[in-house]
Chains A and B, each alone.
Chain A
Amino acid sequence: MGELWIALLKAFELILKRDPEVMQITLRSLRIAATSTCIASLVCIPVGGLIHFYSFPGKRILINIIQTLYSLPTVCVGLLVFVLFSRSGPFGGLGILFTPTAIVIGEVILITPILLGLTLSALSGVNISIRDNALSLGATEFQAIWTVIREARFSVVAAVIMGFGRAISEVGSAIMIGGNIKGFTRVLTTAISLEIQRGELEFALALGIILILLSLVVNIIMNMIQQR
């Protein structure tokens, strides 16, 4: 308990003192997770709308696959991105392995099934007549889909929060494809893992607390958006 208390004090000290390294790692974590969540949301919410509103062969199977991928192991994603972007891989020429971009790609892949699946279940909770009403009142197909998404905004925002939560707490693939390079690809989770290995338990705990506080702040902001 004493350790936790000391760590808490240390965390606040690091935050208040604006420790440059901690600030840098925190901002990087936030930036990578937010970028991944934004990209995945921009793709998944409209695509979720299309999957929900249009019938096509294999739709049920597709939804099952999406739901299965909720529990996609992060190391598998790390491995996949690693193989794709390593020098000998098909996209090796891009030279993005061990960069923040690679981590973003990994996180986008990781949270896409969650965002897509939760968007689909959010939309299926909306009364079917909402779309008919929108169309009948003169909306285009796109405007009608957007109206339904707006109706489901509480659940859709919850899906985005879930996606962000998974992205910022991700460690397995971030180490594999980011490399945990100090000052470049080191994020909160990979730093915690490293500090524990180095025996810097207090520092690791402090970073952990910052990570939780960060999630809390993001959640509060998203909740405020939800209430609007």
Chain B
Amino acid sequence: MLKIVDLHHRYNFKEVLKGINVEIKRGEVFVLIGPTGAGKTTLLRIIDQLEYPTSGRVYFDGKEILTSPGLRLKIRRRMAMVFQKPVVFNATVFDNVAYPLKVRGYRRKDILRKVGKMLEMVELKGYEKRNARKLSGGEIQRIALAQAVISDPQVLLLDEPTANLDPLSIDLIEKLILDFNKKQGATIVMATHDMSQGERLADRMGVLMEGKLIQVGSPREIFYNPKNVQVAQFTTRNNILKGVVSQNENGITYVDVEGKIIEGVSSFQAGERVYVCIKPEDITLSLSKSRTSARNLFPARINLMSFSGPLVEVELRCPFPLLALITRRSAEEMQLRVGQKVYASFKATAVHIIG
């Protein structure tokens, strides 16, 4: 549906996009994740033709979009974008939502019907005559989404569509996005820095950091097999430990981390400097050494415990630092407290080693 080839973009001598290559398939939800300033907005704006790239090509349905003005308009009318800080026109809610249809020359009868249906969908029925500028942030975001969706675009571009919204508004907007994707088969490209949102919505994700698309893959691949330490640091609350491979035996890699040996699965050879990533939820705590088949077992001392809902984050010293995520129930059953000695264990397959 969308193909981006060797795209570079500069702002005042600063390169903000560095050789982006990616293909986005028809009907998929593609989530761009990356820290603020990584270039996500710029990439979306270039796809939407609001900016010309310094170099590179963008194809829509096999056609290059940066050629003639006529083709640009035609393709732009098959896409729509919702901005991070949406602006609505200083007009009524009805006129705002009707705008994309008016500029396309729809008949009044069709406009009335479509706008009515759309306002019902975004739960703003009865707001037709109100001035859009006077509504709340969540309501304005829904108007922006209604504006974008009303012309049935084939590609919907969303730039942080739920930043600064309350949880209820976020739920509603996510539901609308997924509905639009499933029912209309629209392709969605969404930028977000909210990992969990990416994981909830994405078919595939792209990690954009400092203008480079570092990794593209399913959310599982991104979260469990981060390509490098930056991706690992950004995508989840990983335990990331520096170490040196001391030995590799039949695929089992022994990594020396602060004098302790952690076993994992990789093809790194002895002497190589690596990072060991372990997800906090893959770590099991027990009060005694017994009954574990995990290859990695370390005595540890609890440094800090922080409760959040049904879960507890436990900071350990093994002596290397380790963060474990366990349920509140098991923490209570074991009567865990700060300063206590416990055993932390995790499987070799839960250890992801990157260079």
Contact = CB atoms under 8 A, between A and B. Distances in A.
A binds B: yes
Interface string A32-44: 0000000000000
B99 A134 contact: yes
Contacts of A134: 99, 103
Contacts of A140: 73, 103
Given A129-B83, A143-B103, A147-B89, A137 B147 contact: yes
B86 interface: yes
A137 B87 contact: no
B151 A132 contact: no
Nearest to B83: A129
B81 interface: yes
Contact of B81 (A127, A136, A147, A150): A136
Contacts of A138: 73, 76-77, 80, 100, 103-104, 151
B48 interface: yes
Contacts of A133: 83, 86-87, 89, 147
Interface residue tally on A, bucketed by range: 10 to 19
A212 interface: no
B90 interface: yes
A197 B248 CA distance: 110
Interface residues of B, number: 23
Contacts of B177: none
Nearest to B82: A136
Interface of A: 127, 129-130, 132-140, 143, 147, 150-151
29 contacts: A127-B87, A129-B83, A132-B45, A132-B50, A132-B83, A133-B83, A133-B87, A133-B89, A133-B147, A134-B99, A134-B103, A135-B49, A135-B50, A135-B76, A136-B50, A136-B76, A136-B81, A137-B100, A137-B147, A138-B77, A138-B100, A138-B103, A139-B103, A140-B73, A143-B103, A147-B89, A147-B99, A150-B89, A151-B89
Given A137-B147, A138-B73, 12 more contacts: A129-B83, A135-B49, A135-B76, A136-B50, A137-B99, A138-B100, A138-B103, A138-B104, A138-B151, A139-B99, A140-B103, A151-B89
